[in-house]
């Protein structure tokens, strides 16, 4: 008796599971696919990094953030930011903190070039490499 009831319950559960799967249609296939999904094939690509359009977009976003910061300062009763001056200071190259640092980096680049030449590799442009390393350190 128990075995018959168990088999009947299992068969009914299998039939219900099959009907549920057939009735679900595309619910499980489309699960997680929304307008915010990154794997959608029909999404248009953004601007290429480093392109003039991307740089203009970045400058506009920075300006918007500075304007919002200035607005928050005004709401607190503080003096507003000079947005153009802040934009100029952000765009300016970072000053070298130590005058001797440039010389030290230049010596390291020259030593690295000597090792590269011994290995048979092309030497790096010293000035360009010094500027790149100072930017990374800055």
Q: In Å, how far are 13, 53, 58, 102, 122 from 2, measured between CA atoms? A: 17, 74, 72, 88, 84
Check residue 97 and give its pLDDT: 59
Q: How many domains, in total, are found in the chain?
A: 2
Q: Residue 54: how many CB atoms within 10 A of its CB?
A: 13
User: Does 54 share its domain with 85?
Assistant: yes
Higher pLDDT, 82 or 90: 82
| Cα–Cα distance for residue pair 125/123, rounded to 1 Å | 7
User: Is 129 contained in some domain?
Assistant: yes
Alpha helices for the chain (secondary structure H) = 2-24, 52-75, 83-91, 99-118, 126-137
Which band of pLDDT confidence, cut at 50, 70 and 90, is reported for residue 92?
confident
Check residue 27 and give its pLDDT: 73
User: Is 41 contained in some domain?
Assistant: no
User: Does 87 share its domain with 117?
Assistant: no
User: Is 19 contained in some domain?
Assistant: no
Q: Return the structure tokens found at 14.
A: 């299998």
User: Is 8 contained in some domain?
Assistant: no
State which residues form the domain around 131.
Answer: 99-137
User: Does 132 share its domain with 107?
Assistant: yes
Higher pLDDT, 29 or 62: 62
User: Does 54 share its domain with 72?
Assistant: yes
Check residue 103 and give its pLDDT: 87
User: Is 59 contained in some domain?
Assistant: yes
User: Does 111 share its domain with 84?
Assistant: no
Check residue 38 and give its pLDDT: 60
């Amino acid at each position: 008796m128990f075995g018959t009831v168990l088999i009947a319950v299992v068969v009914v559960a299998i039939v219900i599971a099959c009907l549920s799967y057939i009735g679900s249609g595309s619910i499980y296939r489309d699960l997680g696919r929304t307008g915010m999904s990154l794997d959608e094939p029909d999404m248009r690509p953004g601007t290429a990094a480093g392109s003039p359009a991307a740089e203009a977009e970045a400058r506009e976003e920075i300006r918007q953030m500075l304007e919002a910061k200035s607005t928050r300062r005004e709401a607190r009763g503080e003096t507003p930011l000079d947005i153009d001056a802040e934009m100029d200071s952000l765009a300016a190259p970072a000053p070298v903190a130590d005058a001797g640092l440039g010389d030290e980096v230049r010596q390291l680049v020259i030593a690295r070039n000597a090792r590269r030449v011994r290995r048979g590799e092309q030497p790096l442009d010293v000035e360009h490499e010094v500027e790149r390393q100072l930017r990374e350190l800055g």
